Amino acid sequence: MNTPMSVLPGIKRVDKLYLELLFRCNFSCTICYHGEDLKRPDTVTIEQASAALAYFQTAFDCHWVCLLGGEPLLFEGLPTVLGAARLLGYRTEICTNGYKRRAMLTRCANHLDMLRVSLDGGTAQIHDRIRRPGSFDAAFDTLTWAAQRTSIGATCTLTADNIGTVPALAERLRDLGARDLTLHRVRPVGNAATNGVTPVTWDQTQHLHEQLTAMDLAPLSVNTDILLPERCPPPSDVIEKLEISPDGRVYLSCAEVAGPGRAVRFDFDSAALVTA
């Protein structure tokens, strides 16, 4: 019999659940880890998403969820899922490319604690080359609109080409009132592997760490710890991040996303983690 403790031995709490609602996206970014999965029609239903939220709240004392994709603003039931999360006491977040979709954002605003936008550098030239023409300005239009309605943040995937623009990105986000900038190192999977994207070196991230820690970015918080090679979270009965893909693959860190997943999967039909 699969129980939470038997599937994830020793784990008592999941700090943050990342629930991918669909693979489909209106972009095909050159660094996207989903790669060919972006073409897949898999999607989670409203009922399945709501049941997953209830499961992680009960089984793992989780109260923080980020809904993503693909592009979550293409998921028609997004406002309903956000509302269900709020009723369960979740802190709610969306991670989006921020490209238009203002009508959907308006429907979501009352159920949202943070709108997070993916930004791939501090200039339109760098960002748009990775994503699509006009997407940098559109993303900041969305952030400016959202800042009047909820907390805002951003995510940036670091490459050898864009890492030098991150300090300017952090300053612009700070000036806009953003609360958080989450950095990730690009991995050679999905579109990044196909397009030959160059990963960052530890020398580059060390330099960025020195730049960011010397800047006055308050109230913006940046996860600068990931820029140092010695970062290694101690063993714990708490999982900082658990991500589920629309086909049930389970990842326990950003470094695993889009890979084969763990020897455990989430069964959306039974709304539970099961042994793969």
Q: Tell me 43's DSSP state.
A: B
* H or E segment and range at residue 244: strand 238-244
Return the pLDDT at 60.
Answer: 95
Cβ(191)–Cβ(29) below 8 Å: yes
**Residue 256 buriedness (CB in 10 A; 0-12 / 13-18 / 19+):** middle
Q: What is the pTM of this model?
A: 0.92
So where are the chain's domains? 4-275
Q: Of the candidates 49, 45, 56, which has an alpha carbon nearest to the alpha carbon of residue 242?
A: 56
Average pLDDT score over residue span 171-189 = 94
Average pLDDT over the chain, rounded to an integer: 91
For residue 260, give both structure tokens.
């084969």
> Which residues contact residue 30 at a Cβ distance below 8 angstroms, ignoring those fewer than 6 apart?
129, 130, 191, 192, 195, 197
pLDDT of residue 39 exceeding 90:
no
Average pLDDT score over residue span 59-64 = 96
Return the pLDDT at 163.
Answer: 97
Average pLDDT score over residue span 53-66 = 97
- Is domain 4-275 classified as CATH 3.30.460.10? no
* H or E segment and range at residue 124: helix 124-130
pLDDT of residue 17 exceeding 90:
yes
Average pLDDT score over residue span 121-141 = 95
pLDDT, tens digit (0-9, with 9 covering 90-100), for 251-268: 886 655 555 656 889 999
Find out whether the peptide bond into 70 is cis, omega within 30 degrees of 0. Answer: yes
Return the pLDDT at 233.
Answer: 61
Q: What angle do CA 109, 115, 121 make, to 5 degrees?
A: 150
| Sequence-ordered alpha helix ranges (H) in 177-259 | 191-194, 202-213
pLDDT, tens digit (0-9, with 9 covering 90-100), for 69-115: 999 999 999 999 999 999 999 999 999 999 988 999 999 999 999 99
Return the pLDDT at 195.
Answer: 87
pLDDT, tens digit (0-9, with 9 covering 90-100), for 199-213: 999 999 999 999 999
